[in-house]
Structure 1
Amino acid sequence: MRMSNRTKLVVNKLILLQNAISVFFLCSLITLIFVQVLLRYVFNLPLMGIEELMLFPTIWLYMLGSANASQERSHIVVDIADVFIKNQRILRITHFIKDMVSVIIGVILTYWCFDYLQYSLNIWKLSPLLSIPMFLAESALFIGLFLMTIYSISDFIKSINSLLNKNHLQKGEEVQ
C-alpha cells in the first residue's frame, strides 16, 4: 500500500504548518531574550514577567521539536537489535513490535494529555505574574504528543507493509 497523493499533500501541509509555528515561536523567544538582555544590561531596567512570558514559546518549541524529530525519525533510538540480528525477517518483526509499542504508548499519553487539557480548560489556571491562561502552554503537550502519535502510526503502517511485502520472498533471499 502506498500513500495516496492526497494523503501526502495533507502530511506535507501538516509538516509545513508545524515548521512555520516552530519558526514563529523560535523568533518570539529570541526577541524576548533580546529585549530582556537589552533592558537589563544596557538600560538597567529589568522587565518583570518576561521570564514567565518566555515559558510559553519554550514549551511549544520543546513539544514541536519532539514531534519534528519523530517525523524525521531523528529522535534518539537504541537499535541494538540491528547490530546483533542478521536475519532480515526477524529484524522486521522486531521493528514491527517496537513500532506497535510506540503507537500504544503514544495513544495512551495523548489520551492522558487530552484529559489534562480538558481539566486545564475547566480550571482556567492563570500564570502567577501576567495572568496568562496556562492552557496556552499546556495545550502544547497535547498537540506535540498528538503529532508524535500520528508519526508513530505512520511508522507502524510502514512496518506492517515491510513485514507483509517481504514475507513473500523466497527462502534464502536477502533484502537490501
Structure 2
Amino acid sequence: MSKLLALIATIDAVLVFLIKPVLGLISAAIAFMLALGIFTRAVLDAPLFGLEELILVVAMWIYMLGAVLASRERSHLSADFVQVVCSNPKMIQVMRLLSTLISLLMAVMFVTWSYDLLQWGINKGQATPVFQLPWYISQSSLFVAALLFCFYLIRDLLADLNTLLHPGTLPHPVISEDNC
C-alpha cells in the first residue's frame, strides 16, 4: 500500500503544481475584469458588454479548483462529532474511514451527474449571449472537480485504512507541508 500512496503523492504534487498557478492566473483575471468593468462603467460611462459572462465562466473554474484544493487538504466542511462523544481511537478511526467511504460514494455520484450535465451541454450546443462561448466550458469544471474529488477521496480512504490497519502511522502520510 505504501507504493500506491507514494504514487498518489507524486500525482498529487503534479496536480498542485498545475492547479495553484492556474488559480493565481484566474484570480488575477477576475480581479482585472471586475476593476475594468467598474472603471468603464463609472468613469467612462461605457459599460463593457459581455464582461459578466466571461467572469461567470472563469469564476466556475476558480470555485471548483478551490474546492479541489480544500478536498486535497481535507479542509472542507465536515461534522466530526464522533471525537466529542467517543474517546476510543480505534472507533474514531473506523468512523473516519466510514465517513470517507460515504464521501467517496457521493463523489462518484457527483461524477456521473456532472458527466451527464457536460454531455448534455455539448449536445445542446448552448453558448453565452455576447461572445458565444460554449456553456460546456464552465460545465466541464464540475466534471473535472468531481474526478479530482474522487482521486483525493481514494487517497484519503487508503490513508485511513492504512492508519486503521497499522496504528501509530500518520493519518495522512501523503500530505506534507512540502506539498502545499
CA separation of 1:104 and 1:5: change in aligned 2, threshold 3 A? closer
Which residue matches 1:2? Answer: 2
Q: CA RMSD in A?
A: 1.6
One-letter identity of the residue aligned with 2:127: L
Answer whether contact 2:97 2:161 (CA < 8 A) is retained: yes
Letter in 2 for 1:2: S
The reply on whether 1:91 has 2:88 as its aligned counterpart is no
Partner residue in 2 for 1:32: 33
Partner AA of 1:114 in structure 2: Y
Name the stretch that deviates more: 142-151 or 1-10.
Answer: 1-10
Question: Who wins on radius of gyration, i.e. which is larger?
Answer: 1
Q: 2:43 aligned with 1:42, yes or no? A: yes
Q: 1:27 aligns to what SS in structure 2?
A: helix
SS class of match (1:166): coil
Amino acid of the residue matched to residue 25 of structure 1?
I
Superimposed CA distance per residue, residues 15-58 of structure 1 (whole angstroms, 9 cap, x where no aligned partner): 11111221121111111111101111111111111111110111
Q: SS of the residue aligned with 1:48?
A: coil
Q: Give the structure, 1 or 2, with the largest relative contact order (CA under 8 Å, sep 6 or more).
A: 2
TM-score if structure 1 supplies the norm length?
A: 0.89
**Cross-structure match for 2:175:** none
Cα distance in 2 between the residues matched to 1:122 and 1:154: 33
Q: Percent identity?
A: 27
Q: What residue ranges of structure 2 are gaps of 5+ in the alignment?
A: 169-180
Task: Map 1:12-91 to 2 at 5 A.
Answer: 12-91=13-92
Counterpart in the other structure of 1:173: none
* Residue 112 (1) aligns with residue 113 (2): yes
